[in-house]
Structure 1
Amino acid sequence: MEKEELTNKVEEPLADYDRHTYADYLTWQMDEMVELIKGKIFKQTAAPRSIHQRVSGIVFNSLFNFLKGRKCEVFAAPFDVRLPLNSKKNEDIDTVVQPDICVVCDPEKIDELGCVGAPDLVIEILSPGNNKKELQNKYEVYEESGIKEYWVIHPNECTLIINTLINGKYQASRIFTHGDKVASQAVEGFVLDLVEVFDDMI
């Protein structure tokens, strides 16, 4: 597929019959970040805004400092996370996402291309234009692939919701906001102080 043709196609998710795999993904040369969700192409609508990057930096640094000397590792986008349902072969994987932040505690899931298999914790930071993808499309594949925790941060509203996987289904926490401290069950011992995250935004 030519680059120009592909770029035109990724304005919206492709139809069900246009299924792509990670093997296809590896052949593309594009100027923008794309993700595959159940074989459909989704592209980044625009570069993340400054508020998104500030929040991402604060949360990543908190996790990075906490995880020093521990077996878990934290990664920030762009970082490919392949979510196979059955086979780990490139031609069989049809979901490849780039979470804003993820924590992987099984070193065998890390290879030179990124992560293959479910991270323990995924954090997405909402931006204008990507809310449906994060709240609906990614929610479904994160739940199906067995990601233990999925955090959703809304910088403009200064809120955080934790989706915890229980018996194969996500259960949402209450809405946390400035002044709260939130603890992760997937990354034992990690506590994020939302004063540090949102203090300059209210």
Structure 2
Amino acid sequence: MTPKEAMLLPDDGSQYERVDGIYLVTPLPTLLHQVAAAELSYVLRRNCPPEYWVIQAPMDYRPTSTRSLQPDVLVASRNDPGPDALRLPLLLAVEILSPATRSKDLVLKRSLYEEAGVASYWIFDPDAEILTVLELADGRYVERVVVKGDDAFDAQLPFPVRVVPSELLRRTSHPRG
């Protein structure tokens, strides 16, 4: 969505995304949703190579001129042209499930990210402490792994990082340094 279009939308705290001329409106995220997104961003940033950015929503990703998406967490190349939106295929898009976004994230956004060539798509269900990892293979997402609770996922894409679903909700503070 263009900056001009964004200025016409109400400043009500809702998330506005556009898919082929249709606006998708999502209410404010829950506390659990925000904690999970912040913790996952922290884990990714700690391990992120300098040629990438880890960004937490809101950040506009425009894979086409008619689509404006806002993953909860994303990893993008620092070579993306920006500055108002990311345009290159993302290395990682993450959606945190909530009752208001579940079907959109599991069906619509999965399809849109796949079509846009997003290399890896992670779906985290904070209520069940389940992380589902999808990766592109021959232009289609394949389920790489589903990890639950205290089980660890050692990702290679977009870069090596260990993610433990239960830790995304239990950790309350980080050491400085």
TM range (shorter): 0.7 to 0.9
Q: CA deviation at 1:24?
A: 6.6
Q: CA deviation at 1:111?
A: 1.6
Tell me, yes or no, if structure 1 residue 96 matches structure 2 residue 77: no
Q: CA deviation at 1:116?
A: 1.2
The aligned counterpart of 2:56 is 76
Q: Given the two structures, how large is their TM-score scaled by the length of structure 1?
A: 0.77
Higher strand share: 2
How many pairs align?
Answer: 169
Q: Aligned in 2, Cα 1:26/1:195: closer, same or farther, shift over 3 Å?
A: closer
SS in 1 for 2:163: strand
RMSD: 1.9
The aligned counterpart of 2:28 is 47
* 1:144-183 equivalences in 2 (<5 Å): 144-183=115-154
* 1:13-32 equivalences in 2 (<5 Å): 22=2, 25-31=5-11, 32=14
Percent identity between matched residues is: 23
Q: Which amino acid aligns with 1:94?
A: T
Q: CA deviation at 1:123?
A: 0.5
Flag the structure with larger Rg: 1
Q: CA deviation at 1:76?
A: 0.7
Rounded Cα–Cα distance in structure 2 between residues aligned with 1:38 and 1:137: 12
Q: CA deviation at 1:110?
A: 4.2
Q: 1:124 aligns with which of 95, 98, 102?
A: 95
Please, which runs of 5 or more residues in structure 2 have no aligned partner? 172-177
Rounded Cα–Cα distance in structure 2 between residues aligned with 1:39 and 1:186: 32
Q: CA deviation at 1:27?
A: 5.0
Tell me, yes or no, if structure 1 residue 189 matches structure 2 residue 160: yes
Q: Given the two structures, how large is their TM-score scaled by the length of structure 2?
A: 0.87
Q: Which amino acid aligns with 1:37?
A: V
Cα deviation, 1:118-161, whole Å, max 9, x if unaligned, reads 11001100111111111111111100000000000000111010
Q: Which amino acid aligns with 1:36?
A: R
| Preserved contact between residue 37 and residue 138 of structure 1 (Cα < 8 Å) | no
Cα deviation, 1:51-105, whole Å, max 9, x if unaligned, reads 11111111011111212x6211100111101112xxxxxxxx1110110000012
SS in 1 for 2:8: coil
